[in-house]
Structure 1
């Protein structure tokens, strides 16, 4: 089983929104084989708390435009690591320090990467 078409659309939309707000190190993983609770994870990082919030707002706006509504949000108060759960996808926007410390991409490295649009300028770890 692989991520659904809807999950892939949402991941790519969220990745583009994050890129538009200068998110760094944007990566998406198909976790559908490993987890039953979601199909994909999107990871993005930012240099400061304000940028984390800006990226989160942009992602929520972009996904709302295509009909996606979050099931829950965690971490908004601190602004260091915000998790947005859309059921089909889970978005993690982390401050660079948290991203480096928790290294979620190492945890999911055996999962396939999801190709992101060429317009996602910060790339996937590049």
Structure 2
């Protein structure tokens, strides 16, 4: 069994919407052979809660406007760390980058075929790590600057 044309259309539109809102590491899996409840999963992440919510809102708006699809269920919105949109045919997971690393959903679905996504969505691969490395470097520089300032005050 493979994902239906409708599922692929939903995944493509949702992935493009996520990419347009600067989501990181967008990936989709055809889970139709291992799950009876849905055809595909879309995973995306963002570095902060506000961006997670923005990505979710854009996906929901775009799927409704372009394909007339409404989620049957929406969970996790209050915290903004991991929001799940269940469209029955597909399930969209938008996670804060820290949750994405911790829960590593890719490991669970690694044996399922990856679905092709729009070029913009494919280009987001590895962006989460780039962002984390950049934030880490900024944090180290800021800590070094603070340390230098304290050293100057103590002299």
Q: Given the two structures, how large is their TM-score scaled by the length of structure 1?
A: 0.96
- Offset at 1:101? 0.2
- Offset at 1:14? 0.2
Number of residue pairs matched by the alignment: 126
String of CA shifts for 1:6-36, please: whole Å, max 9, x gaps. Answer: 0000000000000000000000000000000
Distance 1:124 1:40 in 2: 18
3-state secondary structure, aligned to 2:53: helix
More helix by share: 2
CA contact (8 A) 2:23 2:124 kept: no
Distance 1:53 1:21 in 2: 10
CA contact (8 A) 2:27 2:122 kept: no
CA contact (8 A) 1:29 1:111 kept: yes
Distance 1:122 1:46 in 2: 15
**Higher Rg:** 2
Q: In the superposition, relative to structure 1, how do residues 121 and 40 fare at CA in structure 2: closer, same or farther (>3 Å)?
A: closer
Larger RCO (CA within 8 A; separation ≥ 6): 1
Q: Does 1:77 align with 2:78?
A: yes
Q: Structure 1: which 5+ runs fail to align? A: none
CA contact (8 A) 1:27 1:125 kept: no
Runs of 4 or more above 3 Å deviation: 121-126
Distance 2:69 2:8 in 1: 12
